[in-house]
Structure 1
Amino acid sequence: MNKTFYLITIFLLSYIANAQQIIVSGKVTDTLQNPLAYANILAIPENDNEVVTFAITQENGTYKLGLSKNQTYNVTVSYLGFKQQTVSITTTNQDLFKDFILKENPDQLDEVTLNYTPPITVKKDTITYKLDAFTTGEERKLREALKKLPGVEVDKAGNVIVQGKKVTKVLVENETFFTGDSKLAVNNIPADAVDKVEILDNYNDIAMLKGLQDTEDMAMNIKLKEEKKKFTFGDVEVGAGIKNRYLVHPNLFYYSPKTNVNFIGDLNNQGIKSFSFRDYLEFEGGFSKLMNDAGSYFSLFNSDFAQYLNNQDYTANTNQFGALNIRQSINNVTDISGYVITSKSKTETQSETLNEYVNVQNSFFEERTVNNNLNNFFTIAKLTLDYDPSFNEDFAYNSFVKLTNNDSNGFITTINPNQNNSISTLTDVVGINLKQNVNYSRKLSKDHTLTLEATYNFQNDKPFTEWLTNRQILQGLIPLVNDTFYNIFQTKKSNSHSFNAIIKDYWVLNNFNHLYTSVGLNTAFNSFFNEDLQKLSNGNTNNFSTNGFGNDFGYNFVDTFMGLEYKFQIGIATFKPMLYYHFYNWNTKQFQDTFSNSKALLLPQFTTKIEFNNSEKINFKYALNARFPSIERLSNNFILSSFNSVFKGDTTLENQLYHTVSLSYYKFSLFKNLNLNVNTSFNKKVKHFKNVTQLDGINQFNTQILFNEPEYNWSVNGGISKKINKIRYNIRSRFNYNDFYQILNNNTQLNISKSVSSTFSAETFFKNYPNIEAGFTKDFNNYRSIGNITNFENNQFFVKLEYDFLKDFIFKADYSFDNYKNKNNGIANTFDTANASLFYQKEDTPWGFEINATNLFNVTFKQQNSFNSFLISDNKTFILPRIIMFKIAYKL
C-alpha cells in the first residue's frame, strides 16, 4: 500500500512540475488610456477539449488569464458603453502580454437603452452568466451547461460549487425550486430552457434583511427563456435482480411560474433509500438555517426518522416510500407550499463487538452480538404560507406534524468472565410531534427593521420495551424475584409543550455602524413517566417501584432574555460584539416533592469577519454558552436503561457552561484554479454534566453530577485544491484533540484522545476520455487512559471511474481497499469493496437500460472502533451481500 501511495504521489508531482499552462496578461483601457475596471475578458478555445476561461479586470484595468500551451483562443473583451473587441491568440511555450484599447460606442445616446448583454457580469455579491455564450446547444440538462461556465464546478452528486464555495439554495425566477436542493435542479432542468444563471453570494430569503443578518449562504437563480417557462420532467425506473431483488422508483416533476409539483416514490429490497438525511434537512429549511438553532438541529439529527435515514448498514432491507411536494402561487405576493412524506420499511441488522473494559481493577473483554429486526413507519407533513406584499414586509407561517410507529425484535448475546447470557428484546414506540411557527419582518423606517419569530411545539412519545431471558440480569441493581424465566417490562410516557418567541430591532446608525436589540422568551412544560416491573410465570407482578424505581416527573422551565449587538466596520473588517442577559426560572415535581430554582446569566458573544475580497475571507467567532439538563437527567428515581445499565437523575442539576471559539480562513483564486480553506475550533467546558459510573462486570449504574474541572477539545481541519489543465489535486487533513475526565468506581481520571486523518487525491476532467479519481486516506486514533495507550490505524486506497463512450454508453465503477489495525489487541483486517454499472441510452430516446452490481466482492462486514471513559470497542457491522440488478428507465 505504501509503495502504491508513493508511486501515485511521484506521478502527480511530476505532472504538476510539467503543467502545460502559460499566462496571458495585460491592461484594458479606453482611447484616453483610462483603465476600465471590471471589464469582461472571455477566452473561448477552438479545441473542444479545452475549457473556456474568463477574467475580470482589476481597479487599474489589469488582468491575467491562464491558458493552455500551443492552443488557439478567440479572446473577447467587453465593457458596457464600449465596442466589443475580439482577437485570435495562439499560445506558445512563453507567457504573453496583450493590452486592449476599447473604443466608445458611437451610437450610444443618453436616451437609448443598450440591448447588449455581456457573457459575464460581476457585481459585489452577484455573478451573472449569459448561458448562450458558453454552450453549443447540444447540452441536455442544466448540469452539462453549468460545467462549461468559468469558475463553476458540478460534482458527480449534482452539488454546485462556484469559485470554491458550495451553492446552498437554488431558485428559478427568484422563487425557491422545490426544496432548494441543487441536485434536483441541475440534474433535471432542460438546458435549452435557461437564459441566464445568477450566482448570489451572502444570500438571504428576506431581501430587506440582507446586510443585517449574517449569512454565508450562496444561491443560484435560474432565469428561464420566455418560451420555456413551463416544463415537465423526471424519470421512472424499474429493476429486477437475482435472488428476487426488485426496484420501482418514480421521480416526477412539473414546473411553472405559479405551480410546482414533485412526487418521489420508492419500492425496493436492495437497501436503496431515495430519501436521505440531507434531503430531510432540505425539507426542513436547509442545513445552514438549522445550524442557526443548534438545539433544533441536534433534536432533528437525533430523531427516530433521522436515525433511520442515516442507517446504511444492514443485512436485509425492504423499503416503501412516497413523498409529495407542492408549491402554489396564489397571487404575486402569496405562496402556499407543503409536503407529505410516508415511509414504511423492514430492516434486519447484525453486529459483533469486542469490548475491552479498561480503568477497572482487572481489565477484561466482552464478546457481544446484536441482531435486530425492525419495522419503521413515519408520516411527516408540513404546510407553509409565505406572504410578501412588498420589499418592506414579509410574513411566513409553518405547520408541521410527524407521526411515528416503530417496533423491533432483537436478540443480544454476551460472553464475558462474569456471565454468559442471551436476552431477547421487544420495543414499540408510538409518537406524535406538532409544531407551529410564525416569522414576521417589517421595515419600520429607513433606519429600523423589526423581526418577530414565534414557535409552539408539542411532542408526545410512548415507548415500550420488554426484555426476556432465562438468567438474571443486573444483579444487585434491579429487584428481580427468582423465576424459571425473567420477563421485564418498561413503559415510558413523555409529554412536552414548548413556546419560544423573539423580537429583534435592527437599527442602522450609518453605513458602518449598526445596533441590534432583542427580547425573547423560551418556555417548556414537560412531564415524564416510567414504570419498570417483572411479570412472574405464576401471573403475579413484581413492581420495582417499591425499590426506588419509576418516575412521575414534571419539569417547567422559563427563560426570559434581552440581547444587545453592536456591528461596526473598519476598513475590510466587520466586528460584532454581543451581550445577552438571561433570567432562568425552573421548577420540578416528583410525586409530592417539589423543587424550585432561578438564576441569571450574562452570556457574551463576539464575531469578526475580515473580507479581503469576495474570494478571500477570515471569520472568527466566540461565545459563552449555557445549556440546561433534559427532563430525564433530572428525574431522580431509578430507570432501567438497557439490559446492563440503570440510570438515576438528579433534580438539583443546574446548567452547563462552556466556551466555544472558531477561526476559519477561505481563499479562492480563479486565475490559479486554487481553493484553500482552513478551520479550527476550540471548546472549553467550565461546568458540565459528568457521568458517575459504578461498574460491576458489564453492569453499570450511572448518575450525573455538575462537574467543575475544565475539559478541552481542539480540532483543526483544512484542505487545498489545485486544478492544472485537466487534473485537480486535493489534500485534506483533520486533527482532533480531546481531554475528558471519567468518574468510575469512585476514581477520577483524566483521559486523552487524539485522531489524525489525511487524504490525498487527484481527479481528471476529460471530455473524450475516461475520468478517474484516485486517492489515499490515512486514519490514526490514539486513546490514553491511566498510562494505558491504545492505537488504531486504517489505511484506505480508493479509485472511482466514469467513462462516457460510443456516445450512448456510461460506465461507472468504484473500488476501495481498507487495511484496519488495532495495534494493542493485535487485530488486523483487510477488506475491499467495489461497485460497477453500465448505462445505455440513445440521445434521442427517453428509454435507458442499466446493469449494475453492488458489493462486487461480496464483503460481509465493515469494521470500526470507538471508545469512551471505560470501554474500547472493535465493531463489525454486517452489510448486504452482492446484488446484481438490471434496470429499465424512462426519462421525461
Structure 2
Amino acid sequence: MKQLFYIFLFVSISHLSQAQSVFTIRGTVKDTTQLAVIGAAVKLSTATDSVLTSTNVDGSFSFSNIRASEFTITVNSLGYQSKSKKYSFKAGVRTETLAPIILTSDSRMLNEIVVNGTPDVTVKEDTLQYRADAYKLKENALAEDLLKKLPGLEVDKDGNVTAQGKTITKIRINGKDFFGGDVKTATQQLPADVIKNVQVIDDYGDQANITGVKDGEADKILNFTIKPEANKGFLTRGVIGGGTNERYQASAFTASFNNSQQLALLLNFNNTNANVFSLTGGGGRRGYSGGSGGDGLTNVNSVGFNYRDEWGEKITAYGSYSFNNRDNYTNSSNLQEILTADNTFYNNNFNDVDAKSNGHRLDFNFEYKIDTLNYLKIRPTFNYDNSNSETFTNFDINTQKTTSIGNSKEMVDYTRPNFGADILYNHRFGAKARNLTFDVELNSTSTDQNQNYLYRSDDNSLSGQIETYQKQLIFGDNKNNNVEARVSYQEPLTDTKNLEFSYRYGFARTDNNRRVESTDVEGDAPALDPLQSNQYQFDYITNRFGLNYRVNEKKYNYSVGFSAQPSVLRSNTTATDKKETNFFPSARFSYKFSKTRELSFNYYGRSNQPGYEQLQPITDQSNKNFYVTGNPDLSPEFSNSIRLRYANFDFESQNVLFANISYSDTKNKIVTNTISFPVATDSTILRENRYLNADGYYSLNGFYAFSKPFKEKTYVLRFRGNAIYNNNISFIDYKKNTGKNLILSQRVGVQVNLGEWLEFEPEATYTYSKNDNTLNVRANTEVNSVGFNVRTKVYFLKTWIVGGNLDKTFNSGYGNIGTNPLIINGFLEKQFLKGKKASFKLQAFDILDQSTSLSYLATGNTTTLSQSNRLSRYFMMSFTFNFSRFAGNSTMPDNLGDGGGYRRRH
C-alpha cells in the first residue's frame, strides 16, 4: 500500500513539474483596513491582449490561460482610487499568487453611496452576504434591528438568532471572534450604522478554511464587516432604569476602534431576565413562550472585555474574558406519558428550582503569518463554572393499577474547570493550492459534584403503595481528556483540480469515580452503597484515513472523497475491546447560476461515542421512581447525512428565496429500553431505563423562506415554513417501539414602513405536531398551535415614539396545562439632544399578566408537556444614551445637526 501511495504521489508531482507555456495568475484586492473589496474591476493587459474580471465576495480574482510572461494589472472600484502595477513571471513558475493589492479611498467620493448595480444579496457556496445599507433603519438602530429586516434570518423574543432555520452559534467582526463569538453581545450592542455587510457562513473550522476541504456538519455563524470609515473611532451606549416589583436594569457598552486595534468593555446588571454571554443560544423544544428572557426569574451580573490588535506586521492577537453571575428561580409543571408494553405511566412533576451559578470564560487567539508560505494559529481557552441548586419536587405517578404520590428534595453543588488549546500550522509549497496542514486540539474537563437527595412517598392503601423513605449522598468526580490530531496534504493536479490526503487521530478518555451513601430508614446515617458506587474508565480511540478529489471551476465546484475509520472502545469492566471499522464516503457539489443564485449538495458521515452515563455498569437509583442502568457493551453510533440547498435573489424583482432539505439516518443508534416490574414487597410498579443499540432511526427536515418587496421595500411580504419528520426508535420491555413524530410549521408576515412615521409588522404562525407509537396507541398525541403577533412603532412630533407588540396564541392538545395567553407590551419614548442620542422611555411589560412558557417534546417512548413561570407584569422607566465618533462621521451631541428620520443616503 505504501509503495502505491509513493508511486501515485511521484506521478502527480512529476505532472506538475512539466514545462508549461500557459500561466495562471491569482490575487486579492483589499482596502487600507485589510477588508476585501468586492466587485472591483480587474484588468490584465499584455503587449498583445487584455482580459477583464471582477473580485468575488472574498476580494479574490484569477486569470487562466495567460501566455505572456509580463503583464500589467489595473484595478478600479467605485469609491477607491484606481491602481496599476506591472508584473513578470519567474522562470519555471506555472501559477503566480500576487501580493494583496491595496486600494486607497477616494476622498472625492461621498462617505456612503448606494450603487444600483450592486445586489442586496450575493451567494457564494458557504457564504450568503447581505448589503446592510439596502435595508432602511431608524437612527440609533442596533445590529439586532438590522437582522430582523434580512430575509431568511429571525430574531426571537429572547434575542436568539436563526438563519435559514438553523441556530447561529457564533458572531465575528471583520472575520475575528467578538467576545468569544457571543451572539447577543454583538447583536444587542453593536450599532447597525457601522455595519457594511452581514455574512451568513457555514463554518467548517480553521483547517477547512485553509484547505477548502469540508468535513462533517458546519456551524452556522454570522460575520459583520465594518465600514472603512467606522474602523477608526469609538462608541459608548448605556441604559439605566428602575420599575415596579423592584425591577432594575443597568448596562454600559463602550468600544474603541483604531484600524486593526479593537477594545470593548461590557457591563450588565439586571433582574429582568436579560442575559448576555450565552454562546449556545436557541432551544430544541417546540412550543410557545410568552414574555421574554427565558424561564423563571433571573438576576444577572455580567462583565466582559474584548481585545484585538496586531503585534507588528506578522502577529494578530485577539480574545476576550467574561464573568457571569446568575440567580434563577423557576416553578414548573412537567406532565409525562411513558409507554410500556401494556400500560402507560403518567408522571406529573411539580418543581421549584433555585439555582445559582458563577462562570468565568477566557479565550485568546494568536495568528502568526511567519512568511508568505507559513502560517501558525494558537488558541488557548479556559472556562470555570461553579453552581449550586436546590430542587423541591412534588410527584404524582399513575398507572391503571397503582398510584405513587410523594416529594423529593435535591441539593447539588458542582465545579467544572475546563482547559483547552488548538494549534494549527499550514505550509504552502509555492503554488497556492499545494498545502500541508497540521491541527492539534487538546481539551481537559473535570466535574466535581456533590448531591444530597431526599425522597418520600406517601402511604396509599387503595393502590397498595406504602410509605417509602430514602436519603442519598452522591459524590462524583468525572474527568474527560481529549486529543485530536489532523494532518492534511493537498496536491494540485491542474489549476482547478486537486487531491487531498488526510489522517486524523482521536483519543478520548473518561474517568468517572462515583460514591453513593444511602439509607432507607429515617434518622439513620447514610452508609456506603456498593451497588451504586464504582470507578469506571473507558477510552475511545479512532484512526481515520481519507482521500478527497476536488474540482473548483468558475460556475461550479465539487468534491468526492472516501475515508476509513477503525475505532476501539476500551473499558476497565470488559474483558475485550470493542472494535469497529466505519467507511465514510463524502460528496459536495455547488453550482453557481449567477452571483445571486446557487444550488448546493452535501453528504457526510460521522460516528458518535456513547456517554459514560450510558456505559457505566451500575444501576443509578437516585430517582426512586425511575432507575437507570448503563450498558458497557454499547457500540458507537454511525450517522449518514444528506443536505440539498437552494438560494436565489432575483436582482430585478428583489424576491429572495432560500430552501433546503436534509435527511439523516443512524446505524447503531443508542436508544432506551424501558422495563417495568413489580416490587416484591408491595404492588408498586418500578420502571428502569436501560440502553442498547438499534437500527431504524432517521430524520427528514425541510425548510423554506421567501420574501417579496413592494414599492421599494415599503411593504415586504415574508413566508417561512418547515416540516420535520423523526422516526424515533425505543424499546419497551425489550419490544421495539417506533415513534413517528411529525412537526409542520408555517409563518406569514408583512413588514410595513410608511415613510418615516410608521413601522408595522403583523405575523401569523401555525404549528402542528403529531406523535404516533406502534406499541401503545394510548400515548399518541396531536397538538395544534395558532399564533398572532403584531409589532408596531409610531414616530410623531419629531422626537416622540409610541409602540409595542401584541402576541396571542391558541393552543389545543396540551391537556390539563393548556393555555392561550395574550401578551401585550408597550412603550412611550421621548428623544432629546442633537441626533436623538439620549432618551427617556416608559415601558409596560405583560400588561394583562399572562406570561408563561409552554412546550411539547416527543422522544422515544416518552412525550412531555411542560409549563413554567416567566417574568410577568411590571412597568419601568429608563434612560438611554448613545454617543459615537468615527473618522467618517460623528454622533457626539456638540457636532450634530437636527437629525431625524432614516439614515441619509446619497
TM over 0.5: yes
**What residue number does 2:870 align with?**
879
CA spacing shift, 1:114–1:741, aligned 2, 3 Å: closer
Once residues 385 and 751 of structure 1 are traced to their aligned partners in structure 2, the CA distance between those partners, rounded to angstroms, is: 48
1:674-713 residue CA offsets vs partner (Å, 9 max, x unmatched)? 1111111112223221211113577431111122x42222
Contact 1:574 1:608 in 2 (8 A): yes
Once residues 778 and 519 of structure 1 are traced to their aligned partners in structure 2, the CA distance between those partners, rounded to angstroms, is: 47
Which secondary structure state, in structure 2, belongs to the residue aligned with residue 642 of structure 1?
coil
CA spacing shift, 1:273–1:570, aligned 2, 3 Å: closer
CA spacing shift, 1:769–1:557, aligned 2, 3 Å: same
Aligned mate of 1:763, from 751, 772, 779: 751
Aligned mate of 1:407, from 377, 388, 401: 388
Per-residue deviation, 1:811: 3.0
1:575 maps to a residue whose letter is Y
Once residues 731 and 136 of structure 1 are traced to their aligned partners in structure 2, the CA distance between those partners, rounded to angstroms, is: 20
Per-residue deviation, 1:213: 4.3
Which secondary structure state, in structure 2, belongs to the residue aligned with residue 340 of structure 1?
strand
Matches within 5 A, 1:587-736: 587-590=570-573, 594-640=575-621, 642-695=623-676, 699-707=686-694, 709-725=695-711, 726-736=714-724
Once residues 212 and 268 of structure 1 are traced to their aligned partners in structure 2, the CA distance between those partners, rounded to angstroms, is: 44
Contact 1:146 1:152 in 2 (8 A): no
1:724-783 residue CA offsets vs partner (Å, 9 max, x unmatched)? 111111111111112233211233232212111111111113332311111111111111
Which secondary structure state, in structure 2, belongs to the residue aligned with residue 633 of structure 1?
helix
Once residues 634 and 144 of structure 1 are traced to their aligned partners in structure 2, the CA distance between those partners, rounded to angstroms, is: 43
**What residue number does 2:426 align with?**
441
1:841-863 residue CA offsets vs partner (Å, 9 max, x unmatched)? 22516432111122221115222
Per-residue deviation, 1:83: 13
Contact 1:238 1:888 in 2 (8 A): yes
Per-residue deviation, 1:651: 1.9
- Segment of structure 1 superposing worse, 122-131 or 360-369: 122-131
Once residues 782 and 190 of structure 2 are traced to their aligned partners in structure 1, the CA distance between those partners, rounded to angstroms, is: 49
**What residue number does 2:740 align with?**
752
**What residue number does 2:894 align with?**
none
Matches within 5 A, 1:152-171: 171=173
2:427 maps to a residue whose letter is R
**What residue number does 1:73 align with?**
none
**What residue number does 1:21 align with?**
none
Question: Of the two structures, which has the highest relative contact order with CA contacts closer than 8 Å and spacing of 6 or more?
Answer: 2
- Segment of structure 1 superposing worse, 523-532 or 313-322: 313-322
Contact 1:372 1:411 in 2 (8 A): yes
Match status 1:398 vs 2:379? yes
CA spacing shift, 1:880–1:771, aligned 2, 3 Å: same
Match status 1:468 vs 2:468? no
Contact 1:693 1:700 in 2 (8 A): yes
1:824-857 residue CA offsets vs partner (Å, 9 max, x unmatched)? x587532111222223222516432111122221
Aligned mate of 2:812, from 821, 824, 827: 821
Contact 1:313 1:878 in 2 (8 A): no
**What residue number does 2:348 align with?**
367
Which secondary structure state, in structure 2, belongs to the residue aligned with residue 632 of structure 1?
helix
**What residue number does 1:264 align with?**
266
Which secondary structure state, in structure 1, belongs to the residue aligned with residue 632 of structure 2?
coil
CA spacing shift, 1:80–1:138, aligned 2, 3 Å: farther
Match status 1:572 vs 2:574? no
Matches within 5 A, 1:286-301: none
CA spacing shift, 1:846–1:359, aligned 2, 3 Å: same
Contact 2:296 2:868 in 1 (8 A): no
Once residues 150 and 493 of structure 1 are traced to their aligned partners in structure 2, the CA distance between those partners, rounded to angstroms, is: 47
Aligned mate of 1:429, from 391, 414, 438: 414
**What residue number does 1:286 align with?**
none
1:272 maps to a residue whose letter is A
Aligned mate of 1:585, from 545, 568, 571: 568
Contact 2:516 2:528 in 1 (8 A): yes
Matches within 5 A, 1:827-866: 828-844=818-834, 846-866=837-857
Once residues 127 and 820 of structure 1 are traced to their aligned partners in structure 2, the CA distance between those partners, rounded to angstroms, is: 36
Once residues 661 and 606 of structure 1 are traced to their aligned partners in structure 2, the CA distance between those partners, rounded to angstroms, is: 9
- Segment of structure 1 superposing worse, 716-725 or 743-752: 743-752
**What residue number does 2:369 align with?**
388
**What residue number does 2:59 align with?**
none
Which secondary structure state, in structure 2, belongs to the residue aligned with residue 865 of structure 1?
strand
Once residues 109 and 867 of structure 1 are traced to their aligned partners in structure 2, the CA distance between those partners, rounded to angstroms, is: 64
Once residues 874 and 151 of structure 1 are traced to their aligned partners in structure 2, the CA distance between those partners, rounded to angstroms, is: 32
Contact 1:208 1:391 in 2 (8 A): no
Once residues 576 and 207 of structure 2 are traced to their aligned partners in structure 1, the CA distance between those partners, rounded to angstroms, is: 47
Per-residue deviation, 1:432: 0.8
Once residues 632 and 518 of structure 1 are traced to their aligned partners in structure 2, the CA distance between those partners, rounded to angstroms, is: 33
Once residues 135 and 623 of structure 1 are traced to their aligned partners in structure 2, the CA distance between those partners, rounded to angstroms, is: 36
User: Structure 2: which 5+ residue stretches go unaligned?
Assistant: 1-50, 56-73, 87-103, 285-290, 460-465, 678-683, 884-906
Per-residue deviation, 1:802: 2.2
CA spacing shift, 1:530–1:640, aligned 2, 3 Å: farther
Which secondary structure state, in structure 2, belongs to the residue aligned with residue 625 of structure 1?
strand
- Could you state the TM-score of these two structures normalised by the residue count of structure 2? 0.73
1:402-435 residue CA offsets vs partner (Å, 9 max, x unmatched)? 1111111111111234211011111111111100
**What residue number does 2:226 align with?**
222
Contact 1:471 1:486 in 2 (8 A): no
Once residues 687 and 136 of structure 2 are traced to their aligned partners in structure 1, the CA distance between those partners, rounded to angstroms, is: 68
- Over aligned residue pairs, what C-alpha RMSD do you find? 4.6
Q: Percent identity?
A: 14
Once residues 534 and 811 of structure 1 are traced to their aligned partners in structure 2, the CA distance between those partners, rounded to angstroms, is: 60
Once residues 612 and 711 of structure 1 are traced to their aligned partners in structure 2, the CA distance between those partners, rounded to angstroms, is: 36
CA spacing shift, 1:437–1:641, aligned 2, 3 Å: farther
1:551 maps to a residue whose letter is N
Contact 1:198 1:222 in 2 (8 A): no
Which secondary structure state, in structure 2, belongs to the residue aligned with residue 623 of structure 1?
strand
Once residues 805 and 741 of structure 2 are traced to their aligned partners in structure 1, the CA distance between those partners, rounded to angstroms, is: 33
Contact 1:200 1:220 in 2 (8 A): no
Contact 2:661 2:700 in 1 (8 A): yes
Which secondary structure state, in structure 2, belongs to the residue aligned with residue 829 of structure 1?
coil
Once residues 794 and 129 of structure 1 are traced to their aligned partners in structure 2, the CA distance between those partners, rounded to angstroms, is: 33
1:156-183 residue CA offsets vs partner (Å, 9 max, x unmatched)? 9798999xx99986655x8776667898
Which secondary structure state, in structure 1, belongs to the residue aligned with residue 614 of structure 2?
helix
Once residues 747 and 202 of structure 1 are traced to their aligned partners in structure 2, the CA distance between those partners, rounded to angstroms, is: 41
Once residues 225 and 854 of structure 2 are traced to their aligned partners in structure 1, the CA distance between those partners, rounded to angstroms, is: 43
CA spacing shift, 1:38–1:181, aligned 2, 3 Å: farther
Match status 1:802 vs 2:819? no
Once residues 464 and 134 of structure 1 are traced to their aligned partners in structure 2, the CA distance between those partners, rounded to angstroms, is: 55
**What residue number does 2:252 align with?**
250
1:35-94 residue CA offsets vs partner (Å, 9 max, x unmatched)? x99999xxxxxxxxxxxxxxxxxxxxxxxxxxxxxxxxxxxxxx999999xxxxxxxxxx
1:751 maps to a residue whose letter is G
Once residues 665 and 317 of structure 1 are traced to their aligned partners in structure 2, the CA distance between those partners, rounded to angstroms, is: 41
Contact 2:752 2:759 in 1 (8 A): yes
Once residues 350 and 77 of structure 2 are traced to their aligned partners in structure 1, the CA distance between those partners, rounded to angstroms, is: 75
CA spacing shift, 1:847–1:684, aligned 2, 3 Å: closer
**What residue number does 2:45 align with?**
none
Matches within 5 A, 1:118-517: 120=115, 171=173, 212-213=212-213, 219-225=223-229, 230-277=232-279, 312-363=293-344, 365-417=346-398, 418-446=403-431, 447-471=433-457, 486-517=470-501
Aligned mate of 1:793, from 784, 787, 794: 784
Which secondary structure state, in structure 1, belongs to the residue aligned with residue 871 of structure 2?
coil
